[in-house]
Structure 1
Amino acid sequence: MNQRPRSFLKTGYFCVQGNPQLVSLRALIDDRLFKIRNGMDINGRKRTLPLFEPPIDPGALQRAKGPGGGGIAGFLRDLENPMPRYRFLALISYALDLVSELKAAGQQRLSIQESKDKEALSLLRSSHQRAVLALILRVKERQMAEVNRAIEVLEETRKQQEMRLAYFLALTGDSDTKDIPAAGGTWQDIPQNIEKPRMDDFRMSPFEQEETSKADEASDFTLGAIAIETAASVAFAFPNVGVKVQPLGAGADATFGGENVGHILQATAGVLKARSQCASNDADKAGRKAMAIRQLQERRLEANTIGRELVRIDKNLAQLHAQLDTSEADIQATQQEIDNSAAEDEWLRTKYTSHELYSRLDNSMCTLIIIIILPYYRAFFSQRLCMLYLPPLGGRI
């Protein structure tokens, strides 16, 4: 081909000049025909082609019926579709770009779903917080009502204790020197005049000891009188002895005997009874004095106890009033939290990036259908080109 043609002309003046492009095209055609005839690829590598077409894939029909297979009609339509007008490398590049866009769109939709769920969760938390704050406010209002009832009870108790204190001060005679403490005042105890008791097993006061001594003395006198009366009864059993002296027919007559001794003993027993009665009276007086002193001491003790109880009630009232102020401040703070929560809930429901916005964004993702379909067809066309250009041994790519 590259040899000059033989001619009888010795000059090339009258010949047409050679076209290098036509020569290179002829060389390219000859090279491609040589490779085709000798079973080579475009790069000149020897390849062994199968004698028959690839076997029919019986699973292709089953996969077409499965999820995402497109059905029988789609499978037949794919077989009858014409070949695309683009080469494999261009289509696979477009398919990869669309797949990348699909991944980005999927991530964006996932982000939209997450933002939508966050907004829904924020609204749910806001509503729950408002409900909880309302319950807390009710509890605090009831606590405040309980504090008010406790204050009323303590005030009534203080009035009762004031009445009892006035009563005991009147009994002890200290109403002129002691006053009922006012609200928030102090109390000074009424002094007690308690004598030191005797250091024996009974620890009796002097008047109680005097009562016991006088009672013992009266008992001794009574026993002595009983003994003497018994002796007098015995003396009355003895006869009387009389003496008469009458020298001139006139004289004196004297009689002495058990009767006289009995009367003397009875008189002695009467004296002992009188002394026993006096000792018994002294014992009664000492007992009444001891009882009166004991009652006075007990009444003063009760008055002092009531006075201290009034001071304690005043402290409890002051504490309850402070607790009442704290409850009022706490209720105001809770009410402010409720107002803030209501404003926050209103803002969450009316802001631009709300749950409705993300719902609309989620619904507007219908454009993803186009993005999903285009990569599918691009990949399918690329697969057909690849199978045409380099048929696989079997099945789909």
Structure 2
Amino acid sequence: MAYPVPEIWTVSGSLNKSGVPFSAGKVYADSLNIQGVKRALALFAPPIDPGMLVKARAMGLSIDSILNSANEKRSIYRFRVIVKLAVDMAKDACQMGRDLLAILEKQDAEQLQVFKAKCDKAVVAESKAVQEMEVKSLEAEKVRLEEKKTAKQNTSKKQKAMHLVSAAEKKYQKLMEKVAKIQETVEKVRNIASATFKIPDFKYGSVVNAFGGPRFDIESIGGTKLAENLVSAAESYASRFAQRQLDAAKTKLQAELERRKKEWTLEDEVADAEVVEVEKQEVVNEIKTQQVEKKHKSIENEILRSEQAYEVLSEKFTNNDLYIWLEKELGKVFKQYVKLLLDVAKMAERAYHFEIPDDTSKPYIQSNYWDSFYKGLLAPERILLDLRRMEKAYLENDKHRIEITRPILLFTNLTDPIVPDVNSQYVTVSKTDNSKVSEYVVNIRRSLFEKDFPYHEERFTKDIRLQVVAENETESYACLNAEVSLTSNPQFIGVTASSMALSEVGKFDFKFVDDKYSPFEGTLIENTLDLNLRLTGIDCITDLSTVKVIVFVSYTAWRNSNVQSE
């Protein structure tokens, strides 16, 4: 079963402006879109430079955004409204950039603080290792001092033992004492003998008879005895010399013993002093050991505090992870906001060029504001600068234009809509076949306006109004409705509708306080001004031949002084 395809889905239906089915050839010939606006279709797409794509990508742009911005329609709001919004957004973006920079600074500070905590922790750990090495060194020094003390004490004991008088020396002293006693005895005997030799020699004899018979003994005393006395005296002197020599040797030995005793005493004192010095070094080493142990405990406490500080820095809410998340998310929002700001700025530029027709080859708003290397922090300031430059140019170039309102009588009879002879050369009206409404296509040539003011140029429409006058005004107010649309505007379609078709236009009055453009404002009258006129409710009018249709075209223009002088 084949389902009917809706007319709007067909080529002719989608491009038809009035709902009346057209042929495909007529559609392409008219080049009208679904809104009924004439479009110039490009036969070939423009070439794309790959280098431009790379450059645009580096600046945070895409080819789609560039093409969309180039083909985007003009806004219905005036330049002052859009540029004010763009400036406010630029200020907000500047503040957002400063907030992003502050977050980056806080992130760097937080990372630096965490890094410092890690370094402090590492330094304290290394200090602990150094202190442990010092403790080991002091313990080794303590062992060395103890060994040194033991060695000194043993050496002192051995020296003291060696410094005592030996048994041989004691025996020598005793023998020397005995020799002295013997010599003293010999000397006494010799002295007695010497005293006996001093008796004179006498010869005497005696007869002794005892126990076996008589015996005769004769003795004499003489010079021999004197010689013997001299020998005895010499021997006495020799004995005295030997005694004195013995006394000298004994004195010498006694002196040597006393000297050796003093030396031994001094060596003992030195050894005792060295032992005392070692004991003092042990005390100093003990004090150093206690100090190092206290430092070791302090370092352990500092390590604990460093670990606690690192845990606090790592576990607190405003930690490095939060700043990384904020930098990432706010960076995304900031980039999207700058893109939105750029779109609004370009919208303001289009409104500027629409209101101030000047050279568009040098745009005020560029596309290279974003700097990916610096996260686009200065992009809002650059856009704000160009917006201010555009505002300055607007104040310099916003000059007052001539205002003209041209009434045009289309026809005086709805039954047979024929343009009066006075406008037949400049206006053509054709009726569209539609049983429900009365629809007319109106083409107004530029020559009509040139006939009035030949020295005017750059005519831009400001407003288009319609006046339908019937003989019976009551019928006009009761049921007659009218709709006028502008089909020759390539930017947008202007439509106005009214249920009060009978209205006196009066003075050409521009409402500059309005933030939006009027429906027909800004269309350049180049060759023809194409209008679409739709009238409804004409059934209630009794006599259509008395109905007049008048179009009032309000436009602005520049005066060409050269043409006027000619």
> Is the 8 Å Cα contact of residues 101 and 371 (structure 1) preserved in structure 2?
no
Alpha-carbon separation, structure 1, partners of 2:313 and 2:162: 74
> Is the 8 Å Cα contact of residues 64 and 71 (structure 1) preserved in structure 2?
no
Match of 2:354 in 1: 388
User: Does the alignment pair 1:322 with 2:313?
Assistant: no
Match of 1:355 in 2: 320
Rate the CA distance shift 1:268–1:338 in 2: closer, same or farther, 3 A: same
Query: Which structure's residues are more often helix, by fraction?
Result: 1
Cα deviation per residue 1:40-70 (whole Å; 9 max; x = unaligned)? xxxxxxxxxxxxxxxxxxxxx9997654495
Cα deviation per residue 1:53-110 (whole Å; 9 max; x = unaligned)? xxxxxxxx99976544957665554343221011101100110111111111111111
Cα deviation per residue 1:82-140 (whole Å; 9 max; x = unaligned)? 21011101100110111111111111111111111112111211111111111111111
Alpha-carbon separation, structure 2, partners of 1:63 and 1:84: 31
Match of 1:332 in 2: 297
Letter in 1 for 2:119: H
Give 1:310 shift: 2.4
Cα deviation per residue 1:250-281 (whole Å; 9 max; x = unaligned)? xxxxxxxxxxxxxxxx9999999877766654
Match of 2:272 in 1: 307
Find 1:147's aligned residue among 138, 158, 183.
Answer: 138
Cα deviation per residue 1:301-346 (whole Å; 9 max; x = unaligned)? 1111122222222222211111111111110000000011011111
Rate the CA distance shift 1:148–1:74 in 2: closer, same or farther, 3 A: closer
Rate the CA distance shift 1:147–1:76 in 2: closer, same or farther, 3 A: closer
Cα deviation per residue 1:19-43 (whole Å; 9 max; x = unaligned)? xxxxxxxxxxxxxxxxxxxxxxxxx
> Is the 8 Å Cα contact of residues 79 and 348 (structure 2) preserved in structure 1?
yes
> Is the 8 Å Cα contact of residues 126 and 341 (structure 1) preserved in structure 2?
yes
> Is the 8 Å Cα contact of residues 69 and 343 (structure 2) preserved in structure 1?
no
> Is the 8 Å Cα contact of residues 142 and 285 (structure 2) preserved in structure 1?
yes
Q: State the structure with bigger RCO (CA 8 A, min sep 6), 1 or 2.
A: 1
Match of 1:297 in 2: 262
Match of 1:120 in 2: 111
Alpha-carbon separation, structure 2, partners of 1:358 and 1:389: 46
Q: What SS does structure 1 have at the residue aligned with 2:118?
A: helix
Match of 2:423 in 1: none
Match of 2:339 in 1: 373
Cα deviation per residue 1:208-243 (whole Å; 9 max; x = unaligned)? xxxxxxxxxxxxxxxxxxxxxxxxxxxxxxxxxxxx
Q: Provide the alpha-carbon RMSD of the alignment.
A: 3.5
Identity %: 21
Match of 2:307 in 1: 342
Task: Provide the TM-score with structure 2 as the length reference.
Answer: 0.40
Rate the CA distance shift 1:329–1:79 in 2: closer, same or farther, 3 A: closer
Alpha-carbon separation, structure 1, partners of 2:64 and 2:158: 111
Match of 1:162 in 2: 153
Match of 1:235 in 2: none
Rate the CA distance shift 1:150–1:305 in 2: closer, same or farther, 3 A: same
Alpha-carbon separation, structure 2, partners of 1:69 and 1:284: 119
Rate the CA distance shift 1:78–1:342 in 2: closer, same or farther, 3 A: closer
Matches within 5 A, 1:179-258: none
> Is the 8 Å Cα contact of residues 125 and 303 (structure 2) preserved in structure 1?
yes
Give 1:156 shift: 2.3
Rate the CA distance shift 1:353–1:330 in 2: closer, same or farther, 3 A: same
Rate the CA distance shift 1:274–1:325 in 2: closer, same or farther, 3 A: same
Rate the CA distance shift 1:359–1:71 in 2: closer, same or farther, 3 A: closer
Alpha-carbon separation, structure 1, partners of 2:109 and 2:232: 120
Alpha-carbon separation, structure 1, partners of 2:269 and 2:255: 21
Letter in 2 for 1:396: P
Letter in 1 for 2:340: L
Rate the CA distance shift 1:167–1:63 in 2: closer, same or farther, 3 A: closer
Equivalent residue pairs, number: 250
> Is the 8 Å Cα contact of residues 110 and 319 (structure 2) preserved in structure 1?
yes
Give 1:392 shift: 3.0
Match of 1:241 in 2: none
Letter in 1 for 2:255: A
Alpha-carbon separation, structure 2, partners of 1:95 and 1:139: 64
Find 1:102's aligned residue among 70, 73, 93.
Answer: 93
> Is the 8 Å Cα contact of residues 96 and 334 (structure 2) preserved in structure 1?
yes
Give 1:148 shift: 1.6
Alpha-carbon separation, structure 2, partners of 1:359 and 1:69: 21
Alpha-carbon separation, structure 2, partners of 1:348 and 1:141: 29
Rate the CA distance shift 1:357–1:74 in 2: closer, same or farther, 3 A: closer
> Is the 8 Å Cα contact of residues 102 and 371 (structure 1) preserved in structure 2?
yes
> Is the 8 Å Cα contact of residues 156 and 268 (structure 2) preserved in structure 1?
yes
Letter in 2 for 1:371: Y
Match of 1:197 in 2: none
> Is the 8 Å Cα contact of residues 123 and 348 (structure 1) preserved in structure 2?
yes
> Is the 8 Å Cα contact of residues 168 and 300 (structure 1) preserved in structure 2?
no
> Is the 8 Å Cα contact of residues 92 and 382 (structure 1) preserved in structure 2?
yes
Rate the CA distance shift 1:267–1:173 in 2: closer, same or farther, 3 A: closer
Alpha-carbon separation, structure 2, partners of 1:86 and 1:286: 139
Match of 1:81 in 2: 72
> Is the 8 Å Cα contact of residues 64 and 75 (structure 1) preserved in structure 2?
no
Q: What SS does structure 1 have at the residue aligned with 2:351?
A: helix
Letter in 2 for 1:308: A
